[in-house]
Every structure is written in C-alpha cells, then in structure tokens.
Structure 1
C-alpha cells in the first residue's frame, strides 16, 4: 500500500474525495490516500506544497499559479472545478457599509498573503475601478479570524466562498454586499514535482478514481441532502450551489492559463509569465 498525502479546504467541493476514500476506491488500487483539511486555504496549501509537507492539493487556480511563478516546485495536473468560485463580499453585520463601493480604501481581511481572499481582493478592486496600489490588508488566518476582525472592526470586509459563509450571513454575523466570481475555473489538482517524478503512474490511478466519482457526483440519489447535512447548509443553498458547480475531468486549458497569468501581471501580483510546461503537467496526453 502506497501512502499519498493530499490536502484541501473543508468545503463541499471536496466531498467526492471523501466519498471515494470512504468507499475504499483508492485502496483497491493499492493507494492509502491520506486527506488533511486545511481551513486556512490556498496560501497555507501553497506553503505546504513548497515545503514538501504534502504530495497533492486541491487548490485555487490563481493562488497556485502565482506560487509556481515564485518558485514553488509544483505543477497543475488537472482542473478539478470547471466553474468559477463565487466569492461573497462580506462586512460585519453592524458595520455602516451598505454597498461594495463603500469599501474603497478600507481594509480587507485575508487568510494570508497569496491566498484566494488576498488575490480576489485585487480582482474585485479592478472590477470596481479602484487603485489597486491603495489596497490594505489584515491577515486573519481563517473564517473564525474573519468573524473576530469584522466584529471588532480591525478589518472592514472579507471575501470568502459564498455558500461556505452563507450560515454566517443567515445568523447575522456577516452581511453580504455582493459577489465577485473568479474569471476562470476555480480549483485544480496540484502535485509536487518530486511526487510527479516518482509516482506518475500512481497519480494516473488517483485521477481515474476521482474523475469517475466527480463525473457521476450530481446523479447520486439525495446528494443535495447529504451535502446539506454534512456541511450544515440550507438545502435550497446547496441546490443552488450544485446548479452552479461543474466538476472537471481534464487538464486546465492553455487559454485559461494565459488569462490567469495575464490578470496577475496586470494586477502586478507576479512579475513574469511562465511557459505552459512550467505550470501544467500533461502526462495524460
């Protein structure tokens, strides 16, 4: 049995992995897939890939690409979620902010630099035609840190996945002023270069298993109720999320890679573009 370490956020996108592990689908191929939840998100996962603390990660597209351009020895091995991520823009329930335009020149709570909450604050600022040079950030590590920061007023707004934070909107902790969808497919499967060098055939087996699960995921009877119960979500919210979400079983398109890099260059978040082969591992073709 070959042990493989994999990490991802504790969110509904990743249920197919947990179902496949629980079913023993990887074990039948001689793979002990060890999953670890990383509530801090993409910035933390980039660091873990860089430091060799994991073999694989289910990670935000833009965060990983930025990290690879900065020297992270990892590759994208497949697109995982083909649809955009819906980033809710949240403020404290008792704050005076009424519209996204009110947030100009205020402080964004971010899980860490290089995270999705950090990078998407730039995308949102660009959408609003704000000067991105004037963005201000407060590092809060995770959602619990964001609750404290927005409640205490040490930060002004927080961008996080719409449906994950919906319960905090429902219970009156946050108000959501709007959404900022990613302009590209949101999650990819990443692997360290070291793991790729040593385990390409093993990775093919892992992707075959998860692609089977994701291709059939929406057809599972009562999957909406399973998701709602497991992730403590309202059934109607999960049903809306399922209607918006598409899992992928193929590699990220070159056109998408170019768009992400061009956007990051335009926002001055990276200072160089890399070639396709430096970011994408096309061993399946």
Structure 2
C-alpha cells in the first residue's frame, strides 16, 4: 500500500465530476489496490473520509472511517466503509449546522448545514449494491464525501463564510463558544432556566436549588470540589466527555448520574433539561 498525494483547494481536480465504475471495474485488481491506498492515506492523515478526487483520481470512490479520530475527538465511531458510485437521498427536511474540516482545505474549519438523516446507496468494494440509513455525523461525512465526487467542497455549502477559521483560532474562539451558545438556545426553547459556573467556587455558591449540574469533564476543573458540592446538595451530575478522552475521564464517571459524549448531549439535551436525570 502507498500514501497518496492529497490535492489542495485550488487544484482543478477538486472541481471535476468523478466517473462511475462498473462492478467489473470495481473488482479489478488495480481498483482494489487503489482502494487500499485510499484507506492507508485517510488513516495516515487522520481523515474521517477521503474521496478519489482528493488523490487526483476521477473515479466515484470514497472511503469513510472514524476510530477515536484526533481531528474529530467528539465524533462517534464509524466502521470502515468503502462507498463506490454513491447516491445520497435526504430522509428529512431537517438540516443542522456543524463544524467540518477537509484534508484538501488543511488546518481550517467552517460551519456547514447538512441533512441530519440520509439514505446512502452505493456499491461496496465487491461490487455489490448496498443501502444504509446514515444519521448525524455519519450522514454529514457521507454528504461531504459525495460532494467531493461531484466537484464540490464544503466551502460551497457554508451559509456564512465569517465562520471559516484556522484551526488554532477555531479552537480558541469558536469551539466552546458555539457549544455554549447551543446549550443556551436549547434551554431557552425548552423554557428551562440555566446558569453557568466557571470555577469550583462558583459551583459551590450556586449548586443549591438546581435540578441538575451539567459538567464538562474535559474542562480541567477542580472536580473533587465540584462533585463534593453537588453530592452535599443532593443534585445529580450529568457529565459530558469525548470519545478520545473517555478513558482519561473514567475516574469521575462513577460519581455522575450519567456520562455522555457532546454529540449525545446535543441530541438529548431538550429532554434532559426538562426531565433531568435520576440521582
């Protein structure tokens, strides 16, 4: 297997339509070697997916995989999936804005609206037709890679280019701000009062009264003081972490009523805010 050269934004190959493959072409030795090289390249650069256009080849082939990916630490795992001649059909009108990056647009992130559920029809690497329902992050990646094969990049889908950020500035200024804003808006729509504490001392002052403490286990707080205050006030703790840091935050999990990833928290937050969790 070989690590392939990744085309960067501005190269004409990223704006060209990839060509479909017949089952016989899919099963050909050259195609199988190319698929293996794509997988190796995706893993080498920590991609969540890779389309053939990105490695200078105009074939309708893409690979997708997420396994504790450091570029997407909160993303749920997606098993290795080889998609050939993919067709994406939205299963809902609901779209959600989420942060995307791309190996062909290195070190950048932008907010991109995508359908939250799609049907993905494709040939697998044996040339067999497959059809799956992809939701949430899997749906996002499937749409991103299919866009590549049709000559589009995620920048084309952005509604507001002012959110486009270099990854260092994105981590510093956008990531936590966007997540907190989403929590605030969800609480407002659910009619649930919400307060924020930025230190263990603030938690100790405000913990009496709430039905729930929502705690970021990746934030570097004085967790012993936070848990002691919550336990003293008999307020359950709903904590969130990431897939990549789940093992590191494990020592605190037993003191939580529930521990979820950020993605699960976002999906279930309205009901959690209204109903709470059992202590």
Report the TM range for the smaller structure's normalisation.
under 0.3
Q: Which of these two proteins has the greater Rg computed from alpha carbons?
A: 2
Question: Which structure carries more relative contact order (alpha carbon 8 Å, separation 6+)?
Answer: 1
TM-score (norm 1): 0.24
- State the TM-score, normalizing by the size of structure 2: 0.25
Q: Which protein is richer in helix relative to its size?
A: 1
